Amino acid sequence: MNYSFSGCDTVELAKEYGTPLYVMSEDIIMDKINEINNSFLKNYDNVEAYYASKAFLTKEMARIIKREGLGLDVVSGGELYTAKAVDFPVNKIMFHGNNKTVKEIKMALNYEVGHFVCDSIGEIQLIDELAKDLDTRANILIRVTPGVDSDTHKYISTGNVDSKFGVPLPLLKQAVETSTKLENIVLKGFHFHVGSQLFDNTSHLLATEIVLNIIKEMKEELGFITEELDLGGGFGIYYKKGDDVKDLSYFIEPMMKLIEKFTSDNNLLRPKISIEPGRWIVGEAGITLYTIGSIKEIPGVRTYVGVDGGMTDNPRPALYQAEYEALVANKIDKECTETVTIAGKCCESGDILIWDLKVPSLESGDILAIKSTGAYNYSMASNYNRVERPAVIMLKEGTPRLVVKRESYEDMLINEL
Ligand SMILES: *Cc1c(COP(=O)(O)O)cnc(C)c1O
């Protein structure tokens, strides 16, 4: 029996499109977007949801987000260009990044993106200058480093004091003062993002409280009225046993309650609230299919099973020890009797996709499906060892469609002289 994902036989997909193959389910993406609608957008006034596109961005993904009416977070000229390529409404684009280049800022100003989220006073001044040259004004939010630790890998924790992201609390007043004085800057409010892949709402709530106090202080001390507050993303998804996944409302409800109560108690305007989930929308909507090649048993040590991809299509295990579940797509009815280690094909000993996976008896040619690879896999893929990037297909109601062609060797040489 074969493993069926989102109504499609994955072994057939591997045959038709080849491996490695990124398989995305539009149905699952839609389930997530519906949950955002039901537990956030429909429940509150004056709110907005942005998809953090760095998790997975292709033209087709941008089209889906556009069609569903969500906003889009981008962090680079390339992401912005992709959005523009599908005529994404520019007023619904939020431009992030801790070191936006002059080229990127000019591009975003020319496109008239809705917001810049600013990471430093220097950047605010730079945007002001460039906006002046172009005779335009830029709406900005200031990204606050709330100084809260989050319970996640330190490479995906972003809200702690010692972070490259955001304006540290001691400099915030100066950042607000500077912004309000600059003629080509319109300061709308604040933003925070505490980290990624979180199962506990504590750090979100702590950061919300800190930023609410900032909003109060800035009104009292500078007369600044905060019109917008962005709560970031970071909501955790299921990768492996033990991942204690919560509903979106587990994060949203208490934050919204806190905001409504604090602003009403302190006689403050309740700002427009936005969220920016990335991983949460696409992570569980993706799987990767591989063909098993070499099977090497080191007697008494371990069995390495080689697949036709690896850190080039999924660098997360090598980058931050990310763990995944997987199954043998053409043998899901067979008993798992063996324990093997799934090795990528790259020339790095760290290129191991899964340690100690329970599998049925394997043969070369079997199809392996690794689950929850929809976020930060395709978007982090590389050509290390000159491995060509896989194709991406999108499944909808049992029908697959190709959305990104498999890279060819010629493609890899296209910029070479
Ligand atoms: C990465 C990022 C997100 C999305 O994070 P997820 O964990 O994928 O939800 C949201 N906002 C900002 C500013 C980010 O950098």
CATH of the domain at 346: 2.40.37.10
Q: Is the peptide bond before 20 cis (omega within 30 degrees of 0)?
A: yes
Token pair for residue 295?
């099977």
* 220 vs 214: CA distance, rounded Å: 10
Is 387 in the same domain as 367? yes
Residue 305, C-beta contacts closer than 8 angstroms, at least 6 positions apart: 292, 294, 295, 296, 340, 341, 342, 343, 359, 362, 368
Tokens of 82: 């992709």
By residue count, the chain amounts to: 417
For ligand 1, the distance from its centroid to the CA atom of residue 277, given in whole angstroms, is: 6
Question: Is ligand 1 within 6 A of the CB of residue 195?
Answer: no
Rg (CA), the chain: 23
Q: If DSSP codes are grouped into helix, strand and coil, which group holds residue 329?
A: coil
Does 268 share its domain with 288? no
Residues 73 and 219 in one domain: yes
Q: How many domains does the chain have?
A: 2
Q: Do residue 52 and residue 155 come from a single domain?
A: yes
The verdict on 277 and 293 lying in the same domain is: no
Asked if residue 30 and residue 17 are part of one domain, the reply reads: no
pLDDT, position 148? 85
234 pocket-lining for ligand 1 (C-beta < 6 Å): yes
Judgement on whether residues 169 and 128 belong to the same structural domain of the protein: yes
Asked if 187 contacts 180 with a C-beta cutoff of 8 angstroms, the reply is yes
Are residues 79 and 151 located together in one domain of the fold?
A: yes
Whether residues 278 and 289 fall in one domain: no
Query: End of a domain among 282, 307, 328?
Result: 282
Ligand 1 atom at minimum distance from 233 CA = 9
Ligand 1 centroid–CA 70 distance in Å is: 15
C-beta 232 within 6 A of ligand 1? yes
Same domain, 213 and 165: yes
Q: Are 60 and 394 in contact (CB under 8 A)?
A: yes
Active site residues: 347
Q: Is the CB of 166 under 6 A from ligand 1?
A: no
Whether the Cβ atoms of residue 71 and residue 281 lie closer than 8 Å to each other = no
**Distance between Cα 102 and ligand 1 center (Å):** 23
pTM, two decimals, is: 0.96
- pLDDT confidence of residue 158: 66
Distance 339 CA to ligand 1 centre (A): 35
Whether residues 271 and 297 fall in one domain: no
Residue that terminates a domain, selected from 230, 260, 282:
282
Listed residues 250, 282, 314: the one ending a domain: 282
CB atoms within 10 A of CB 391: 18
In a domain, 417, yes or no: no
What pLDDT score was predicted for residue 162? 81
Q: What is the pLDDT of residue 157?
A: 63
142: left (phi over 0), alpha (psi -120 to 50) or beta: beta
Range of the domain at 378: 4-22+284-412
Residues 278, 299 share a domain: no
End-to-end CA distance of the chain: 49
Low-confidence ranges of the chain (pLDDT < 70): 150-159
